[in-house]
Amino acid sequence: MERQVAHSWTQAFGVGYPIILQGIIDMGNRLSVIATRTGDDGTTGLGDGARLGKDDPRIAAMGDVDELNSTLGVLAAEGLPEGIAADISTIQHDLFDMGAELCIPGHIALRDEQVAFLDTRLAHYNAALAPLKEFILPGGTRAAALAHISRTVCRRAERSVIALGRNTTINAPVRQYLNRLSDLLFVLARALNAHAGQSDVYWRSERLRNG
């Protein structure tokens, strides 16, 4: 079972995204065969051994969560402030848990405590920022812009999970985590601008721009 679960997840998203499940995966196992060719027919394997079309809503949700984690990897490569870097690392591990849960229907990996962590960090960063009275544009520093990209990918992942939930049961913390994370990424973009001494980029309506 251990080899099947890990192998199925790697088939779906490549060697960089193996499934990590506490008490299930033997951490000593390392896959050496990457190109299995089993997906050449347009299907991919789940952790329970089932095969689905690569355009199935469950696979779409798994892929969007994978993409979100990858964008956070790009953000983390920017040389972030220590506290933000630590939080991004925690979030990336949590998203692996989420991917594991989506990969095995009925499996529970994401917990309420992980959602609560985002609430705590959101309050922490927001407390240090000036109240926002205007809409802001994605941008400022490169790191802030990347946080905004992660935010929008997070919203897409949330929509994919909600779409999946129309026909199957989704653990509530999965939806809640993505909803909270998009909010946190918005606040982190502002925090990154503030850390660099960069003002937020405020939106001005066409009337004001041309007035």
**Token pair of 121 as six digits:** 């960090």
Cβ atoms 189, 140 nearer than 8 A: yes
- Among 51-55, 134-138, 165-169, 187-191, the minimum mean pLDDT is found in 51-55
The alpha carbon torsion through 197, 129, 146, 100 (nearest 10 deg) reads 150
d(CA 91, CA 184): 11
Cβ atoms 25, 109 nearer than 8 A: no
Cβ atoms 13, 35 nearer than 8 A: no
The pLDDT value given to residue 118: 98
- Among 33-37, 38-42, 110-114, 164-168, the minimum mean pLDDT is found in 33-37
d(CA 185, CA 80): 13
Cβ atoms 102, 65 nearer than 8 A: yes
What is the H or E stretch that residue 35 is in? none
Residue 42: what are its φ and ψ, rounded to 5°?
85, 10
Evaluate if residue 49 carries a pLDDT over 90: no
**Token pair of 95 as six digits:** 């998203």
What is this structure's pTM? 0.82
Question: pLDDT digits over 59-115, tens only?
Answer: 999 999 999 999 999 999 999 999 999 999 999 999 999 999 999 999 999 999 999
Question: pLDDT digits over 151-175, tens only?
Answer: 999 999 999 999 999 999 999 999 9
**Average pLDDT score over residue span 23-51:** 64
